[in-house]
């Protein structure tokens, strides 16, 4: 059987076993290449293609050929190429991404030298926690110069693709070769992200129309992409009263408005936008459902026309950036809880914001020295641990 024939057979088996992945595979251009050691997905303009080393492919039993195909498709479906630029250490990131996706593939369907949670027994890694969780854990090991991670990092530094761990286990070190993505301009990156979302949604629609089943690992993603619940609070009315001052003023030319100084020229419309600092409690006590509840409210808050800056914090601030409802917000942290870092930041930058909205479950002691307009937004399952400075509302179930 030729490589082309075995690829067709593996694709058919994947389609019959898991139609979602089979249909996703059909959307890719496929090429054979000796320039990479195994197999990998990569960008072809704003689309994806699958490259496979023919010798590597030939060495695999059919079950593992199917598993390798699913592995590469998971990189696309989990937006790994889109998110590649968001992490500093790409070598550690490559490992973290493989640790994440290999959990969704039967162990027998993958080569024995792949990356699995039990490759790092000293970390006691939790299952299906996402790339960020595994990346942070591995970075801790690297900084502590732990023996297993140090062995891997040394092999990477020497340009080796394989490594024998201190326990004698041999592993293949993943290298996804996606550095070219970092050279793209922001507009192209956004276009690729939109295209990836479109591909995943389109495949899901095809599966549902054919009465197939969408894999559980994609249900939450698709829910985020498609579903926006009604707001649980009247943000427009409340911000009009609560965040009365504005920190940003925009002007727009309008032919409908008379220009008193220059009658021949269009008039100017003046629009004042509120600028909200929205803190999200990303501690471990806040459940995934509560985080989804917070993000849903932020979406409706943004629709009121306010500028929204997100600040994520558990015991320390882990992220600050503009809120874009068209993008999935990556959650950082998931440790303990401390309100003080956000309050200190807001006190220092108070002139930049109309107010602070703090989304939390309330399970923390009250901060000290809070100033300015602060609204505490408790989750529908939350309750304030202590009396909080400012005003407090609770989202309804």
Q: Is residue 254 in a domain?
A: yes
What region does 385 belong to: left with phi over 0, alpha with psi -120 to 50, or beta? Answer: alpha
Per the CB < 8 A criterion, the answer to whether 41 and 24 are in contact is: no
- Which CATH number is 270's domain given? 3.40.50
Q: Is residue 108 in a domain?
A: yes
**Per-residue model confidence (pLDDT) at position 376:** 95
Q: Give the C-alpha distances (Å, rounded to integers) separating 287 from 199, 269, 281, 373.
A: 29, 44, 10, 27
Condensed to tens digits (0 to 9), the pLDDT of residues 121-130 reads 888 899 999 9
171 and 69 part of one domain: yes
Q: Is residue 34 in a domain?
A: yes
**Per-residue model confidence (pLDDT) at position 180:** 87
Per the CB < 8 A criterion, the answer to whether 102 and 71 are in contact is: yes
Q: Which residue has the higher pLDDT, 240 or 202?
A: 202
Answer with the one of 164, 191, 221 that is the final residue of a domain. Answer: 221
Per the CB < 8 A criterion, the answer to whether 232 and 396 are in contact is: yes
Q: Which two tokens stand for residue 75?
A: 């990189």
Answer with the one of 221, 254, 279 that is the final residue of a domain. Answer: 221
Residue 335: is its pLDDT beyond 80?
Answer: yes
Q: How many domains does the chain have?
A: 2
Per the CB < 8 A criterion, the answer to whether 145 and 135 are in contact is: no
**Per-residue model confidence (pLDDT) at position 368:** 95
**Per-residue model confidence (pLDDT) at position 250:** 44
Q: Is residue 230 in a domain?
A: no
Q: Which domain holds residue 298?
A: 235-394
Q: What is residue 28's three-state secondary structure?
A: coil
Does this model's pTM top 0.85? My answer is no
pLDDT band at residue 315 under the 50/70/90 scheme: very high
| Residue range 322-333: mean pLDDT, rounded | 81
- b/e map 183-215, b = 16+ CB within 10 Å: eeeeeebeebbebbbebbeebbebbeeeebebb
Condensed to tens digits (0 to 9), the pLDDT of residues 3-37 reads 999 999 999 999 999 999 999 999 899 999 999 98
**Per-residue model confidence (pLDDT) at position 257:** 55
216 and 353 part of one domain: no
Residue 211: is its pLDDT beyond 70?
Answer: no
Condensed to tens digits (0 to 9), the pLDDT of residues 103-156 reads 999 999 999 999 999 998 888 899 999 999 999 999 988 887 778 888 888 888
Per the CB < 8 A criterion, the answer to whether 226 and 299 are in contact is: no
Per the CB < 8 A criterion, the answer to whether 282 and 332 are in contact is: yes
200 and 253 part of one domain: no
239 and 311 part of one domain: yes
| Residue range 335-355: mean pLDDT, rounded | 94
Cβ of 60: how many Cβ atoms within 10 Å?
A: 19
pLDDT band at residue 169 under the 50/70/90 scheme: confident
Residue 225 burial (CB < 10 Å; 0-12/13-18/19+)? middle
215 and 112 part of one domain: yes
């Amino acid at each position: 059987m030729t490589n082309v024939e075995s690829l067709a057979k593996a694709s058919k088996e994947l389609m019959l076993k898991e139609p979602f992945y089979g249909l996703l595979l059909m959307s890719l251009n496929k090429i054979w290449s000796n320039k990479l050691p195994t197999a990998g997905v990569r960008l072809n303009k704003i689309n994806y293609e699958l490259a496979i080393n023919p010798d590597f492919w030939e060495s695999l039993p059919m079950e593992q050929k199917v598993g390798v195909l699913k592995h590469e498709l998971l990189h696309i479906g989990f937006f790994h190429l889109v998110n590649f630029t968001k992490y500093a250490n790409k070598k550690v990131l490559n490992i973290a991404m493989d640790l994440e996706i290999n959990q969704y593939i039967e162990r027998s369907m993958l080569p024995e030298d792949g990356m699995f949670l039990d490759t790092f027994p000293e970390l006691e890694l939790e299952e299906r926690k996402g790339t960020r969780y595994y990346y942070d854990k591995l970075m801790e090991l690297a900084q502590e110069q732990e023996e297993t991670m140090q062995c891997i990092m040394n092999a990477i530094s020497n340009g080796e693709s394989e490594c024998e761990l201190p326990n004698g286990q041999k592993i293949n070190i993943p290298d996804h070769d996606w550095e070219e993505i970092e050279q793209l301009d922001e507009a192209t990156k956004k276009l690729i992200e939109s295209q990836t979302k479109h591909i995943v949604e389109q495949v899901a629609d095809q599966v549902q129309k054919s009465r197939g089943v969408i894999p559980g690992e994609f249900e939450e993603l698709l829910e985020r992409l498609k579903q926006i619940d009604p707001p649980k609070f009247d943000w427009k009315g409340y911000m009009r009263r609560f965040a009365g001052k504005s920190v940003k003023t925009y002007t727009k030319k309008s032919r409908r408005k008379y220009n008193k100084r220059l009658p021949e020229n269009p008039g100017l419309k003046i629009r004042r936008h509120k600028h909200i600092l929205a803190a999200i409690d990303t501690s471990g006590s806040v459940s995934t459902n509560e985080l989804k509840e917070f993000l849903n409210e932020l979406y409706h808050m943004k629709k009121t026309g306010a500028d929204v800056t997100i600040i994520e914090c558990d015991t320390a601030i882990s992220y600050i950036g503009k809120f874009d409802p068209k993008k999935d917000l990556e959650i950082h942290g998931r440790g303990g809880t401390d309100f003080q870092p956000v309050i200190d930041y807001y006190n220092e930058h108070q002139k930049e914001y109309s107010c602070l909205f703090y989304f939390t479950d309330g399970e923390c002691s009250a901060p000290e020295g809070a100033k300015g307009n602060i609204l505490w937004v408790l989750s529908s399952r939350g309750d304030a641990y202590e009396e909080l400075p400012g005003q407090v509302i609770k989202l309804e179930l």
